[in-house]
Structure 1
Amino acid sequence: MPVRARWISVALAAVTAVALTACGSDTADTATTAPTGGSSSAAGASGPITVFAAASLTGAFTQIGKDFEAANPGTTVTFSFAGSSALATQINQGAPADVFASAAPANMKTVTDAGNADGTPQNFVKNQLVIAVPKGNPKNIATLADLAKPGVKVALCAPQVPCGAAAQKALQSANVTVTPVTQEQDVKAALSKVTLGEVDAALVYRTDAKAAASDVEGIEFPESANAINEYPIVVLKNGPNKAGGQAFVTYVLSAPAQKVLTDAGFQTP
């Protein structure tokens, strides 16, 4: 082959190699990039991930945690479920956690105000109150006003807990005063008073009444529309696995996780 022809052949081969490399790079970038909420797995997610979450998320997040681990081999999700106010206090006192999911913006604000959030919290679901009563509704409770009747024992969440703050808003909007026999530190504890037969009714989230449908009935009331709680989630600044925490938050916003939440009775924000 003449020298000029050989030079042209080499040049064309080099150009072709560069073009193929560029195409491969573009393909790889496209494959690892997904719109927010559209991916069920996250590249690079690994190791243990600790999530502090509101008690009302227990059932749904337990399932979401299992699904996340299946979609991201090598990850392990550990949950701490409690009242949002207690969790916020623990985070601000230095408890090691990667993600915080609160049942109300007010409790999330205590964490962001303390500078312990990495980024801006995102609302991922909302929840609404119902009146939980034992199966058969022996006290014939139908409205919030029925909770104020003599002889009706009521459990509420403590005022600093999101379900307690929502209950106070609903009662005020109905101009009803209720003196609870107990104030609990999270919604699960308030609901347990009904299932154990210790009270006649409790104001709990719709999702909790649905999860305990074999033991309780959930009575809807119109004033609950005035006390809907938005649930924000955020990665924590000092979390030991911030990358894993971000992957979990991304998964919570994805379609598979949102279906788990809506199936549990949560509403989209």
Structure 2
Amino acid sequence: MEQFEFGAAVRQLREGTSPESVGLPVGGRRVRGLRREELGDLAGMSADYVRRLEQGRSHPSAGVVNAIARALRAGRADYERLCALAGYAAASGQVPTDLGPGALRLLERFPDTPMFVSDAAMNLIAVNSAFLSLEHWDLTGDRWDWNVAWRTFCDPFNGFRQSAADATDHEAILVARLRGAVLRYSSDRALAELVDEMRTHSSMFDTLWREPRPVSAYESSATFVHPDGEAVTLVGNLLAIPGDDLAALMLTAAPGSADASRLSEMVGSASGPAVVRVGQSGPG
């Protein structure tokens, strides 16, 4: 019975979620709320799987419940109800930081593509050697040296440049992810301290936290300036790893471009292990 009730709850939330609230276009719609395909894309699953969930023909994992709640930007009450109907306790403890086997395989399988894996609070957990070859991530001695959001809003990199439009998309993504993390891990003190410090140090972050922008796409372009003075422009695509509540960022260059050639040179000169775990004090 609970499986059917879970499906009904997902359908009710999907149909009651406005497209603009999750960063989707509104025009040309014949149904209320989101389509199953749209929820599937946002949550990292197929439309057929969403259909089976709503019809009570499949039991979700805890990761799937979290992914659906994130995709629909469910409030705390709706999130806890989904968890209860699926038979799980709502995630409210510490942000998980374990590099799961799926995330590790992802880093290992793309040795020529700069990638990193971050937790729900946007702390880097691991990077591959191709990412390190960009040599743009300097350490400043701050507590949140390895936090993407902190380094974007409060302590920006010298060798990282974005257009105004790409910066706007990037900032919206980071704020949306942090807001989702606070929803899921309400008792994580380090996460709460991070958000408080960012609101204090960055007026832009504070404004976006109070009035978040819709996320139009989970990608943005940036130029990475190598210490040797040469630059490479790459597009970053954020990939969710729902079961572990992690995310991977993949950086790619336009095929056949000068940036692709330059990136190949950088990656080709990289040395060291294929995957490097990172933390507050640096690689190790």
TM-score range for the pair, normalised by the shorter chain length: under 0.3
Per the normalisation by structure 2, the TM-score is 0.26
Q: Which has the higher strand share?
A: 1
| Relative contact order higher in (CA < 8 Å, ≥ 6 apart) | 1
* Structure with bigger gyration radius: 1
